[in-house]
Copies of this chain bind each other. A is one copy, B any other.
Amino acid sequence: MDKSDALTSFAALSQSTRLDVFRLLVKAGARGMLSGEIGEKLDVRQNTMSANLAVLLNAGLVRNERQGRTIRYFADFDTMRGLLGFLMEDCCGGRPDLCQPVIDEIACAC
C-alpha cells in the first residue's frame, strides 16, 4: 500500500453508492454478494452499479469471482488492512492512549 493506492482507495470510498456497497460487502464477509443483488438492494441502475464496482475493484477494495452468468463480489480485507496501516503509520507520537481507542473500535464482535 503506497500513497497512490491509498488515494485511490479513499476516492473510491468517498462516493455514496460505493461506500454503501463496500459496507454491505464488509457485512457479507466471506459470503460476498452478487452484482445484481447489490444493485437491487441499493436501488441503483445496472450500468451505474457496474461503473461503481469497477472503481472499487480498481482500488483493490473488492474482489470478484464469476459464477456462471453472475459475478460475486467480496470486500478485500487485506487491502483494508494495508490502508489502515498506511494511514496510522508511526501513529500518535509515542502516546498509545491516543491510538488504542481507534484500534479497539474496530475490534468487531464477530
Contact = CB atoms under 8 A, between A and B. Distances in A.
Contacts of A3: 16, 19-20
A98 B27 CA distance: 11
Main DSSP-derived SS at the A contact region: helix
Interface stretch (A34-42, A43-51, A63-71, A88-96): A88-96
A19 B27 contact: no
Interface residues of A, number: 48
Contacts of A105: 81-82, 84-85
Interface of A: 3, 6-7, 10-11, 13-16, 19-20, 22-23, 26-31, 77-78, 80-82, 84-96, 98-99, 101-108, 110
